[in-house]
Amino acid sequence: MQPQQLSAALAELDASHSRRTRLMLESPQGPLIHVDGRDYLAFASNDYLGLANHPALIEATREGLARWGLGGGASHLVAGHFGAHQQAENELAAFVGTPAALLFGSGYAANLAVITSLMGRDDAVFADRLNHASLNDACLLSRAAFKRFRHNDLDHLESLLKSTPAKSRLIAVDAVYSMDGDEAPLAELLTLAERYDAWLYLDDAHGFGVFGDGRGSMAEQGIAGERVIYMATLGKAAGVAGAFVAGSAELIDWLVNKARTYIFTTAQPPALAEAVRTSLGLIAGEPWRRERLAQHIEMLRHTLSGVKYPLHASRSPIQPLMIGGNEQVMTLSARLREAGLWVPAIRPPTVPEGSARLRISLSAAHEAGQVQRLAEAIVAMS
């Protein structure tokens, strides 16, 4: 696109109700946020356990800053791998039940690292059609044959696995889908991976901290094995920042040597690794957060069971209210905002055409009365 074409292209986004803008928070993350001089009750954050502004994480970061300083200063392989990073990696691996783990600056970087370092031109990757954009980009950048299967359709996946003559194979899925909130059938996927000699790569950005007593979807669905590669982000339920990949010791060693987004980037501030370690203690030691979250989910789904807009089937904190058209979802989101409720409208290309939705995100930090207020407002407007 040429510079002179940008104005017309932005106008087209306006006409289709697809142009995106950023809100600027003037408060810490939490159920109550301050935006443009007004307070809102927010259902937009992925802070599922309410840890993003937890005093213990703030204190752990403060102590980490005092001990380690602020910047990482170098890549991990040059002079940026601190003791705090190593301790966090050891504890993350133990927490999810794998031999080793590796920290990354983001889930996006982790997905690019794993798939591009393991897959190449003679290989094939098999990806669910509702996978996160970062997984799709990783598959494309790997230069492997990119095969997409219908959402959670195991028969379609098996037909692709059968018919693809590839040197190496990798199945990539979101363990919990970020816009629908439903889950991948991990045990069945692992069976197919074993049958067709493939890696199984799980992006558990939205399951870690929530499912499996906080240990994630792999623990929830009871799978393990050397061909399973597990990735989870640390900026959602864990309340910090970054991500980690967990798996066999050989896998992690390979990533250290071959993953470009690990090798060629400055290490995260080591103080954040100290916060991650504290977060793991809260995730394991405060199960009431997940219990409260489950209660919120049940209350919301019960109250909205009769509205004309259906809730997508989900037992996760992601509760999508399916609206359909872009204009309709923007209108409903605006009406809720006028009532002091912040619920984001999700439109294509993030979701398929005709499936625009309100993406309701629940948190253990919400009070029951706040969830009820949202539900009653949606009932009144539908």
| Residues in the annotated binding site | 20, 107-108, 132, 178, 206, 233, 350
Binding residues for pyridoxal 5'-phosphate: 107-108, 178, 206, 233
Output the CA angle 172-173-178, nearest 5 degrees: 145
Dig out the tokens for 277 from the structure.
Answer: 């370690």
Binding residues for substrate: 20, 132, 350
Provide the β-strand partners of residue 361: 318
Residue 74 and residue 64: Cα distance in Å, rounded?
Answer: 17
Cβ neighbours for 29, distance < 8 A, ≥ 6 positions apart: 45, 47, 52, 53
Give backbone dihedrals phi and psi of 208, rounded to 5 degrees, phi first: -65, 135
Of the candidates 376, 302, 366, the residue with the CA atom closest to the CA atom of residue 339: 376
Dig out the tokens for 72 from the structure.
Answer: 């990482």
Could you tell me if 221 and 90 are in contact, meaning their C-beta atoms sit under 8 angstroms apart?
Answer: no
Q: What is the largest distance, in Å, between two alpha-carbon atoms of the chain?
A: 59
HSE-up (13 A, CA, CB side) for residue 339: 17
β pairing state of 124-128 and 145-149: parallel
Length of the chain as a residue count: 382
